[in-house]
Amino acid sequence: MFFIGCDKNSLVYEEIPQEILFSCIDYSKVTDPNFDSDDLYAFWDIFVADAKCSMTSNPDYDKLNTEVNIFYEYESDALFASGQVLDYGAYAATSCDDSRVRVGIAFRYWSDINIWQKLGLMYHEFGHDVLRYGHSSNPNDIMHPSSPFASTYNGFIESKNRFFEKKFDGLRYLDCSWYEDYINGVSEPDLPHLLHDCSIDHN
Ligand SMILES: [Zn+2]
């Protein structure tokens, strides 16, 4: 803010609007009252379009992934009755299979976060499932396992730019060597790696 004048009764300040960061995707539709933020596939469409214009290889993940399943997970009645909740925010189940996307979202967690955090969560899971990213060590990054996601437009844009440019601390990839052996019938599935749970502390 800067001081531009005063009158008898009050100082008058003018807000300098914060710079709106550029993105090749127009996100205004997600803040439109008509946007259905419970439609998880809408987030897949945004991610696909964003990857296409943000990544230097211009991938078309919609064509590469012929099977896309994104769904909610709910507490069972028994779990709910015992006062507990699901111990993860979301998970990606087909990280090593480049033709499929399978992502589960804990509905309770989804309902607690705002639209920029929802985008961060979906990009996190697609980061596992599509880009084979592991978890990063930087709490500001989309791929950090337990940090709250950026809750503002600019915060989301900054972190998703690093995400697509592969410029974030502790970037590592999931080990999918077991998967090749598994689909070739040489070994059993590596169950600890099959599901990639992401416990997300959002409090
Ligand atoms: Zn994760």
Q: How far is the CA of 51 from the centre of ligand 1 (A)?
A: 18
| CA 14 to ligand 1 centroid distance, Å | 42
Maximum Cα interatomic distance, the chain, rounded to a whole number of Å: 83
Question: What length does the chain have?
Answer: 203
Q: How far is 67 from 12, CA to CA, in rounded Å?
A: 57
pLDDT at 84: 81
Residue 188 — very low, low, confident or very high, per pLDDT cuts 50/70/90?
Answer: low
Which one has a higher pLDDT value, 8 or 90?
90
**Interval 86-102: pLDDT, tens:** 888 899 988 889 999 99
**DSSP labels for 35-62?**
--TT-HHHHHHHHHHHHHHHSTT---HH
pLDDT at 203 over 50: no
pLDDT class of 196 with cuts at 50, 70, 90: low
Cα-to-centroid distance, 197 and ligand 1 (Å): 6
pLDDT of residue 201: 47
What pLDDT, on the 0 to 100 scale, is given for residue 99?
93
DSSP per-residue letters across 99-111 = TEEEEEEEHHHHH
Q: Which pLDDT score is estimated for 185?
A: 75
Residues whose CB falls within 8 Å of the CB of residue 7, separated by 6 or more in sequence, listed in order: none
38 Cα to the center of ligand 1, angstroms: 20
Which residues, other chains included, contact 167 with Cβ-Cβ below 8 Å and sequence gap of 6+?
Answer: none
Report the alpha-carbon distance of residue 154 to residue 175 in Å, rounded: 32
Give the distance (Å) from ligand 1 centre to CA of residue 30: 23
